[in-house]
Structure 1
């Protein structure tokens, strides 16, 4: 297939989770004989933090403004088998209108930010990447979030055919490596700063660090404010590009996953970092949200923390206990959550109404209006 995508970014992993997911998916699609053409608006904050410039077997088209690229986009769509526009695409509405006019392609919308979409919809705020007609014109609407989000996409935004396409990991990129002194930690956390995660970060990371002042805690990420409540034993690494993630996770005795508030409230929305950490062989301590147990088994493949005491208890586990959890989590990630698994699911979904599992929120479930 030739797949044309209008997305947020694949060229820069700075401050967003889209890029790493697209890289793994596009690499896998190329291995499976498909060609991806990815249109990305060349904005300054991604241009100055660009860490990916070429799609294997495909094309990355960077453009300054929609007018300058409209004719090229129209030409690429003429022989496309699938045409997709995603959430947070800077020209999402214009691109969506063009996709809906594609002469032969399956017309797809992929919401990688479904909880944010609905939080804005509920608040009466504008959604910059969905036009006034909603999603009714698309042949298929994919959602990074499963569960009740799938029904809401139909009932509130008019989607006719919906399916989850969850996060994933490329095991060729994210795998256990030799630990690095710079990243050694008793507990690590990798994530862009978000105000709606700060309360959980306080209780599940900062307060536990105060309980273990002799241990080294490590945060990696971007956009942390100057008034962040650092502790003397909390160290910081500013923005880790994806090639550094394996060393970061492999150097962590235990790593923490915290879900954005809207994602946690909606459930069925696993962070890509969750799969990355698991594939790198790091034992994971995660906040709790509905649907988590469908991706990793609590207590065996992942540990759950709801308050500071849960984190302290996890920190006091033996190395043998943590290694057991890490091994089980990695096995589950490789068995069910790789980029190849998602590429196969996408192939099936683009091929027609046949799907892998009829379960309401399962990895390849599909709903039709």
Structure 2
């Protein structure tokens, strides 16, 4: 299959989880024998923070603006499938361009589905608009559950399919390193996540001054009152994630408000942490218990008291057992290879539906 992907970023993981998601998925998709071209908008904030420049599993090329997409018109037209990702700059215009010229299957890959739907509901069409959704043969959604039916019924998508984030287990192995922190968190600052971070990490840090905490990620405001026992790491490249997780007795998963409301929205960080066999403390949302078994593969917490109690009574053997149980769950259903197989199936189904005469001819 010749696949073209127009995504937010493959080259830079700075301030976004899209890059690691695309890297794992496309590496596994290429391993299935497919040919991939990734087209990335050349923007200064990613250009100055690139940590992948020449991936072995696909061709990575840049375009300066919408007009520059004309250079790739024939490639897009001849591809067997073309995927446009969420948060792509000028995404509505990019989508129209792809739908106008692609002769193969077209798909929208939404790595931010609840955020996207909230934006659509309030008339914010930053990278997707209601009128172009029916023009995509398949809507690949970061969110599963009832949201898929909503996309089909409300926005007339021909086919909405769950394509959760995943992890390359070879890139996120458990490492035998000293435990540096009692509780860690890896994530870019988000105003709607901050209250949960305050409740489940910052307040416990205040109450447990003898314990060690860390928050890694960019864009946190300068006026946040970090306790003295909370270490800050401004940016952590993906290559350093496994060591970061493995150095944590527990790691925290915090979910954006729109994603909690939608449910069924596991972040890539959740799978990466689990693959690293670190026990996870998470906020609650519908569908999470279908991905990881509470109390056996993950800890669900609502209050500062619960986190303080957990860290105060940490049983290292029990924590390690939970971490390895979560890793086992990820290895059987949430690897990049699993997602690549699902993606292949979805694209083949969309091809059969949109071009049945060619399927019959074969």
- Partner in structure 1 of residue 17 of structure 2: 17
The gaps in structure 1 that reach 5 residues or longer are 355-369
Cα shift at 1:209:
0.6
The answer to whether the 8 Å contact 1:26/1:56 transfers is no
Q: List per-residue Cα deviations over 1:191-245 (Å, max 9, x = no partner).
A: 1111101111111001111121011111111111111120011111111010000
Residue 206 (str. 1) matches residue 205 (str. 2): no
1:318 and 1:203 map into 2 onto residues whose CA distance is: 22
1:349 corresponds in structure 2 to 346
Kindly tell me the number of residue pairs found equivalent between the two proteins: 351
CA distance in 1, matches of 2:343, 2:309: 40
More helix by share: 2
C-alpha deviation, 1:312, in angstroms: 1.6
Counterpart in 2 of 1:367?
none
Q: Normalising by structure 1, what TM-score? A: 0.92
Query: Which has the higher mean CA deviation after the structures are superposed, 189-198 or 51-60?
Result: 51-60
User: What are the equivalent positions in structure 2 for 1:263-274 lying under 5 Å apart?
Assistant: 263-274=259-270
Cα RMSD over matched residues? 1.6
* Aligned pair partner of 2:123 in 97, 122, 125: 125
Distance 2:141 2:234 in 1: 30
CA distance in 2, matches of 1:179, 1:229: 30
Distance 2:187 2:58 in 1: 29
How far apart, in 1, do the equivalents of 2:280 and 2:194 lie?
19
Cα deviation, residue 180, structure 1: 5.9
Among 182, 187, 193, the alignment partner of 1:186 is 182
The CA distance in 2 between the partners of 1:201 and 1:232, in whole Å, is 16
* Length-normalised TM-score, structure 2: 0.94
- Partner of 1:113 in structure 2? 112
Indicate yes or no: 2:284 matched with 1:322: no
Secondary structure, counterpart of 2:73 in structure 1: helix
Contact 2:105 2:350 in 1 (8 A): no
**Is residue 6–residue 84 contact of structure 1 (8 Å, CA) maintained in 2?**
yes
Contact 1:286–1:304 (8 Å) recurs in 2: yes
1:41 maps to what in 2? Answer: 41
**Structure 1, residues 320-355: CA drift from partner, whole Å, max 9, x if none?**
11011001001001111110000000011111169x
Distance 1:132 1:333 in 2: 34
Q: Counterpart of 2:2?
A: 2
Structure 1 CA distance for aligned equivalents of residues 57 and 74 of structure 2: 19
Q: Secondary structure at the match of 1:19?
A: helix
Provide the C-alpha distance between the structure 2 equivalents of 1:131 and 1:61, rounded to a whole number of angstroms. Answer: 26
Of 131, 137, 140, the match for 1:139 = 137
Distance 2:120 2:28 in 1: 34
Q: How do residues 142-161 of structure 1 correspond to structure 2 at under 5 angstroms?
A: 142-161=140-159
The residue that corresponds to 2:356 in the other structure is: none
The aligned counterpart of 2:88 is 89
Preserved CA contact (<8 Å) 1:304 1:310: no
Cα displacement (A) at 1:103: 4.6
Asked if structure 2 preserves the Cα contact closer than 8 Å seen for 1:14 and 1:46, the reply is yes
